[in-house]
Amino acid sequence: MVNQDNFQYIHPVKKASIVVALMIACMHLQAQSRVIKEVFLRLPVNEVYGMTKATRDSLLQGKTFYPAGNDSNEIIAITYGVSTQVQNYLYVSLSFETGQRATGMIELRSFRRSNGEQIILVSRTGGVSGINYQQQNLSAFLYTAKKQLLPYRKKVLPAPEIKLLLKSGAPSSAKKTIANNSNICYSLNEENVVMTLNSHYLTSNASTKKWLKGDSIYFKWASDRFVLSSIGFLGE
């Protein structure tokens, strides 16, 4: 924290430079936030729980959306949020106010290309956390300088498959156990995109852990594409 008693003694020119830098940083954050919100409003309805543009706009105003099919036995609530760690990111969360354990999440994140266009990743996951929570869809779009949102046909990231985390020579029994107990999903809310196994059972069991390269694969955005950064176990 800056000591206010000392701040007045900063040279006027240096103080002005600090103020300008802060203003530019704020403008950049606002621009990033605006872009990802624009994309959210332009996505096809099948990517966002069937919500209309008007419903999505309401979410961005901080309102909770309750689908028309709700009844006293099943009340779904959908909300939106942002990250304090990643600028060009937002998420939409689905949960039940009637106590059902299932949840869902849609994550959006943009990655700027060298030509100024942006690749937009849309991840949809859902299920019961720790039991059966899976990647339901992972889509990519191109957001052009003319604010057109177009499907991106090139492969951006590998499909979330167990084989990417398995060591060679793993026996069939180990492969089956790992496949049956994995909750493999992509997460977009970290600096690098990460594909995670999401299974404490597998990583705490020595007989299965020994056949894993790790429980997380990190992909870094570099030179207009994702490159594999590292594979390892969370917390190790």
119 with 156: CB under 8 angstroms?
A: yes
More confident residue, 208 or 4: 208
Q: Are residues 36 and 118 in the same domain?
A: yes
Q: Are residues 161 and 207 in the same domain?
A: yes
For residue 41, is it within any domain? yes
pLDDT of residue 236: 81
What would the mean pLDDT of 183-194 be, rounded to a whole number?
A: 96
Which residue(s) pair with 133 in the sheet?
A: 127
For residue 139, is it within any domain? yes
pTM exceeding the 0.75 threshold for the entire prediction: yes
Rounded Cα distance, 18 and 222, in Å:
30
Rounded Cα distance, 45 and 4, in Å:
50
More confident residue, 165 or 22: 165
Q: Are residues 35 and 90 in the same domain?
A: yes
Closest CA to 88 of 109, 105, 107: 109
Q: Which domain holds residue 202?
A: 157-236
Q: Are residues 31 and 148 in the same domain?
A: yes
Q: Are residues 86 and 196 in the same domain?
A: no
Q: Are residues 125 and 221 in the same domain?
A: no
Residue where one domain finishes, among candidates 138, 155, 172: 155
State the angle between helix axes of 12-42 and 53-60 in degrees (0 to 180), rounded to the nearest 10. Answer: 150
More confident residue, 17 or 139: 139
Q: Are residues 121 and 206 in the same domain?
A: no
For residue 109, is it within any domain? yes
For residue 69, is it within any domain? yes
Rounded Cα distance, 153 and 144, in Å:
14
Among the residues of the chain, which ranges form H helices? 4-7, 12-42, 53-60, 172-180, 200-204, 206-209
**What is the domain count for the chain?**
2
Contacts of 58 (CB under 8 A, 6+ apart): 65
Kind and range of the H or E run holding 78 = strand 76-82
Residue where one domain finishes, among candidates 129, 155, 181: 155
Which residue(s) pair with 135 in the sheet?
A: 125
More confident residue, 18 or 191: 191
Q: Are residues 31 and 110 in the same domain?
A: yes
Would you place residue 7 in the very low, low, confident or very high pLDDT band (cuts 50, 70, 90)?
very low
Residue where one domain finishes, among candidates 111, 140, 155: 155
